[in-house]
A and B are shown apart, each in its own frame.
Chain A
Amino acid sequence: MATYKASRILREGFTAITLSVMISTFAGTLLNVRLESLITVPVILILIPPFNDMAGDFGCIIGARLATALHLGIIKPRIEKNTYLFRNIIAIIFIAIISSIYLSILVYAIGGIMGLNIVSPISILILILISSILLALIIIAVGVIVAFISYIYHWDPDNTTIPILTAIGDFTGILTLIYVASLIHII
């Protein structure tokens, strides 16, 4: 019995993947604009893949939890004072802070081994900390909007939030990283 058909895998995968690939290519153009600074300060290059992973993880955590909470009726799809949502936001910000400290130490150590450190450890920590908190806040805000709109229109938020948030995460991850790096004069 053949349940899977290559043509169907191709057809269904194509639309979703093409969309996310297009958003990510726009993220790439942001990198291209600052290519010269990225080559002189390669620590930022090292940060790009882990930062995109982080953004994707934030998206998955907030997306999946919001979807479950909406299905269970713990939260209503409107903006109001809400303890459940507030707790989740606090938790994600804590995750961002702890992971940032870990990532800073890791990147600084590896930069040292590779002989790439021309940025002080404090600058790296400030860069990662500010941009990851900023990133977390943006992902939360977009996640809440996408989940609420999906729920109101009777789409399952479990299917919509994660693909949208991981693609937007790539773009905003790179945007916040480059913006904060130029703000504190690393690049």
Chain B
Amino acid sequence: MSSVLRIVFEGVIAQVVSVTIGVLAGIGLAYMRGALEELPGMIILVPAFLEMRGNISGTFASRLGTALHVGIVKPYVDFKNQNLKANILGTFTLGIIESIFIAFFTYVLCLAFSFKSMGLFNLVLLMIIAGLLSNIVMIFLTLYSTMYIYRVGLDPDTFMGPYITSVGDVVSIICLFIASYIVIIVGV
């Protein structure tokens, strides 16, 4: 029975942290109600956008952790380092490509299920702006916090995954929020 108690104890602590940060993202979503009504189809891409950000930032942090442990990247931001440059470039490009993919796939599903949608142009515009903004914020955030955690002597492999995916949810919602207003103003 003691083993059950330990799993419950550790599990509840992890859940409380991620659920609390998740609620912050949820509040952002609730404030976005106006945009969700104004831009039909936007709600469809919300879970996918959060999932993408979590995956891309999580794998970026995990590779940085490995690179730091192996020693091919030093724990300070040096843009001349080829390994660091490749990681940033790969992460950035992946974020943009997946964002555009989400826009297209959402459009296809809207057609398939005959949902009202904001149109392909607006969907792509929304996802490019949100993808670009969240890319910039999340790449810098992941980079500097992974280096910092490593410098203070903690293992980024243990800390970065859960932290960066939860924080990524909040950042993604804020970026979607900003992007949706830009699309409402300049979109067709």
Partners in one complex: yes
Contacts of A20 in B (CB 8 A): 51-52, 55
Cα of A2 to Cα of B22 in the assembled complex, Å: 37
A24-B47, A46-B30 are known contacts. Are A95 and B8 too (CB-CB below 8 A)?
yes
Is the C-beta of B152 less than 8 angstroms from some C-beta in chain A?
A: no
Known A42-B33, A103-B19: A6·B90 in contact at CB below 8 Å: yes
Question: CB-CB < 8 A to A57: which residues of B?
Answer: 11, 14-15, 18
The digit string for A1-38, where 1 denotes a CB below 8 A from any CB of B, is 11111111110011011101110111111011001001
Contact B23 A46 (CB under 8 A): yes
A50/B45 in contact, CB under 8 A = no
Complex Cα gap A88–B5 (Å) = 10
Smallest Cβ-Cβ distance to A93: which chain B residue: B8
Q: Which residues of B contact A102 (CB under 8 A)?
A: 15-16, 19
A-chain residues with CB within 8 Å of residue B83 when the two chains form the complex: 1-4
Q: CB < 8 Å: which of A10, A42, A88, A166 contacts B7?
A: A88
Identify which of B19, B51, B93 contacts A21 (C-beta below 8 A): B51
Most buried by B among A2, A29, A49: A49
Please measure, in the bound complex, the distance between the C-alpha atom of A31 and the C-alpha atom of B12, giving whole angstroms. 28
Given A4-B67, A9-B90, A45-B26, CB of A35 within 8 Å of CB of B43: yes
Contacts of B86 in A (CB 8 A): 2, 4-6, 9
Interface residues on B, range: 35 or more
Say yes or no: B22 contacts A94, CB within 8 Å.
no
Closest B residue by C-beta to A43: B30
- Name the A residues within 8 Å of B165 (CB-CB): 56
- Tell me how far the C-beta of B132 lies from the nearest C-beta in chain A, rounded to whole angstroms: 17
A61 interfacial by beta-carbon distance below 8 Å: yes
Is chain B's interface secondary structure helix, strand, loop, or mixed overall?
helix
On whether the beta carbons of B23 and A103 are closer than 8 Å, the reply is yes
CB distance from B56 to the nearest CB of A (A): 7
The chain A residue sitting closest to B29, CB to CB, is: A45
User: Which segment, of A106-114, A138-146, A150-158, A178-186, faces chain B?
Assistant: A106-114
- The CA-CA distance from A56 to B19 in the complex, in Å, is 11
In the assembled complex, B143 has its CB within 8 A of some CB on chain A: no
Q: Which of A14, A53, A88 has the most CB of B within 10 A?
A: A53
Which A residues are CB-close (under 8 A) to B89?
Answer: 6
Distance A161 CA – B13 CA, assembled complex (angstroms) = 22
Tell me, yes or no, whether A79 is within 8 Å of chain B by CB. Answer: no
Name the A residues within 8 Å of B94 (CB-CB): 9-10, 13-14, 17
Cβ of A165 within 8 Å of any chain B Cβ, yes or no, is no
Pairs A–B under 8 Å by Cβ, sample size 27: A3-B70, A4-B67, A9-B63, A9-B91, A13-B94, A17-B98, A21-B98, A25-B44, A25-B106, A28-B44, A28-B109, A31-B44, A32-B44, A39-B33, A45-B33, A47-B26, A48-B46, A50-B25, A57-B11, A57-B18, A87-B3, A95-B8, A99-B15, A102-B19, A106-B19, A106-B20, A106-B23
Known: A9-B86, A10-B94, A45-B26; 5 extra A-B contacts, CB below 8 A, are A4-B82, A9-B63, A10-B90, A28-B48, A98-B12
